[in-house]
């Protein structure tokens, strides 16, 4: 459900959507921001209790190219002993950097994402962020893949280059149907299994979600994937989830309305619940050596992503929606 008094509390670039609907034209228009998000230069920032640690992501993988005769100065660790033994002459394996890295964007559009009290619903922000990541990957020549899921179904797009794949991903972001609210734990585990099955070593995997239902079982499933891929967690949240200000509120799903009264005790309980959930998530991701990028519905998504990826702040943007 979304709060009836959705407002824009911060300046946000005009390219991003607001409100409750994912609009295909808006997703396509985010292409103009792709150059401001160079994924290949992203830093891996791990938030630890004693501070933060930043390092480079693995980058593109290495492909085998050919076997040739050994030349003075070659690295003996690249020696192809099988060919050397067969021919009687020293040969080495030659490798090259992959020109196209697989980038998998996983987008959570479950019922829990149909919530927002500020600029936009979480699902709208998630779609914008996913589209921006997709445009950025495509602009630098990587192979784009996608996994979009709700509570019942998923759309699996294997990594390919080309505009056709990108546009199919954007259209499915907008077309994925809403689903009734369900317990999210089992579904999140199913998606983690799906990611583990389809992710190829060397891939960059961005999971854009509110991460509700993520637990230790999900962590176990993703452990091998995190070792062989660059796994990046993007959490979409709404300020009302972090702390519920005392007062009376009207919630609506567009059809029904419901009154909600928040007491001081409710406020404190929600805050403690959020801190506990966040602590558990951060501890798990730290064990996986996976960075966490936090994005709130009331802030500019590009600024938030850049901050989480270790990029410097941008100059104030001229086109904003207040």
Q: Does residue 138 sit in helix, strand or coil?
A: helix
> Average pLDDT of 70-78?
81
Q: Catalogue the long-range contacts made by 271-276 (C-beta closer than 8 Å, 24 or more residues apart).
A: 271/242, 271/243, 274/241, 274/242, 274/243
How many C-beta neighbours within 10 Å does residue 38 have?
14
> Average pLDDT of 240-245?
78
Residue 27: pLDDT over 50: yes
Strand stretches in 24-101, DSSP E: 43-48, 51-56, 62-69, 91-97
Distance (Å, rounded) from C-alpha 146 to C-alpha 269? 37
What confidence category does residue 185 fall into, taking pLDDT thresholds of 50, 70 and 90?
A: low
Give residue 240's region: left, alpha or beta (phi > 0; psi -120 to 50). Answer: alpha
Return the pLDDT at 271. 80
User: What are the residue ranges spanned by the domains of the chain?
Assistant: 2-58+99-317, 62-97
Using CB atoms within 10 Å of the CB of residue 81, give its burial: 0 to 12 exposed, 13 to 18 middle, 19+ buried.
exposed
> Average pLDDT of 283-298?
96
Instruction: Give, as one character, the DSSP assignment of residue 214.
Output: -
Return the pLDDT at 4. 37
Two structure tokens written together for 168? 């199919």
Return the CATH class of domain 2-58+99-317.
Answer: alpha beta
pLDDT digits (tens, 9 = 90+) for 209-232: 999 999 999 999 999 999 999 999
> Average pLDDT of 104-113?
96
Return the pLDDT at 255. 58
Average pLDDT of the chain, as a whole number = 84
Q: Which residue has the higher pLDDT, 107 or 94?
A: 107
Beta-strand relationship, 43-48 and 51-56: antiparallel
Give residues with Cβ within 8 angstroms of 86, minimum separation 6.
none
Query: What pTM did the predictor assign?
Result: 0.81
Q: Which residue has the higher pLDDT, 243 or 136?
A: 136
Give residue 275's region: left, alpha or beta (phi > 0; psi -120 to 50). Answer: alpha
Return the pLDDT at 51. 44
Q: In this structure, what are the phi and psi dihedrals at residue 297, rounded to the nearest 5 degrees? A: -65, -15
Using CB atoms within 10 Å of the CB of residue 162, give its burial: 0 to 12 exposed, 13 to 18 middle, 19+ buried.
exposed
Return the pLDDT at 316. 63
């Amino acid at each position: 459900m979304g709060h009836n008094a959705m407002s824009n509390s911060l300046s946000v670039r005009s390219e991003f959507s607001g409100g409750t609907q994912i609009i295909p034209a808006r997703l396509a228009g985010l292409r103009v921001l792709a150059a401001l998000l160079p994924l290949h230069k992203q830093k891996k920032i791990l938030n630890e209790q004693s501070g933060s640690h930043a390092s480079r992501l693995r980058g593109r993988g290495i492909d085998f190219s050919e076997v040739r005769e050994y030349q003075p100065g070659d690295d003996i660790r690249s020696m192809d002993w099988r060919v050397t033994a067969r021919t009687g002459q020293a040969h080495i394996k030659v490798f090259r950097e992959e020109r196209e890295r697989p980038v998998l964007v996983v987008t959570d559009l479950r019922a829990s994402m149909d919530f927002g009290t500020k600029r936009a619903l979480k699902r709208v922000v998630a779609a914008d962020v996913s589209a921006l990541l997709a445009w950025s990957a495509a602009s630098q020549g990587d192979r784009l893949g996608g996994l979009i899921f709700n509570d019942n179904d998923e759309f699996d797009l294997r990594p390919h280059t080309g505009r056709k794949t990108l546009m199919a991903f954007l259209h499915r972001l907008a077309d994925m149907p809403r689903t009734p609210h369900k317990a999210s734990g089992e579904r999140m585990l199913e998606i983690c299994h799906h990611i583990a099955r389809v992710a190829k070593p060397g891939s960059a995997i961005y999971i854009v979600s509110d991460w509700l239902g993520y637990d230790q079982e999900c962590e176990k499933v993703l452990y091998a994937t995190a070792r062989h891929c660059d796994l990046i967690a993007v959490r979409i949240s709404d300020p009302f989830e972090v702390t519920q200000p005392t007062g009376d509120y009207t919630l609506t799903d567009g059809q029904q309305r419901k009154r909600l009264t928040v007491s001081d005790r409710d406020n404190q309980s929600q805050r403690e619940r959020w801190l506990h959930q966040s602590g558990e998530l951060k501890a798990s991701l730290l064990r996986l050596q996976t960075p966490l990028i936090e994005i709130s519905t009331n802030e500019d998504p590009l600024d938030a992503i850049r901050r989480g990826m270790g990029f410097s702040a941008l100059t104030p943007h001229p086109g904003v929606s207040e």
